[in-house]
Amino acid sequence: FLYSPSFDPGAALSNGVAGNDDFPNVGVSGFDNVALTAGVSYVLVTTGFGNSDFGDYTNTISGIGNVVAVPEPGTYALMALGLLAVGGLARRQRRAG
């Protein structure tokens, strides 16, 4: 089950985004066509059917998506500082020459 922005075991039906009890195959569950929004926190909860459930669990998140790198503000500050330094050096050389 997928929740946003948080999961509360005492209110398991609150904040639900998507969920599936199981697919036709035993031991397989999942959901398709869930649109996730950038900047939003999600909680993926994996559970069994009863107290005697055991085994290996694997969660896989996949799909086609656009990942865009966004520079941090510090990157812009360093770039501006570098441009100012280059401009200052060019000005100094012009005055000296």
User: Greater confidence, 22 or 44?
Assistant: 44
CA dihedral 15, 4, 8, 27 (to 10 degrees): 90
Binning pLDDT at 50, 70 and 90, where does residue 16 land? low
CA 5-21-58 angle, 5° bins: 75
Span 76-95, mean pLDDT?
A: 93
Nearest C-alpha neighbor of 42 from the set 73, 6, 77: 6
* CA-atom Rg of the chain in angstroms: 25
Span 76-88, mean pLDDT?
A: 93
pLDDT, tens only, 24-77? 555 555 666 677 777 778 777 776 666 676 777 777 777 666 667 788 888 889
Binning pLDDT at 50, 70 and 90, where does residue 78 land? very high
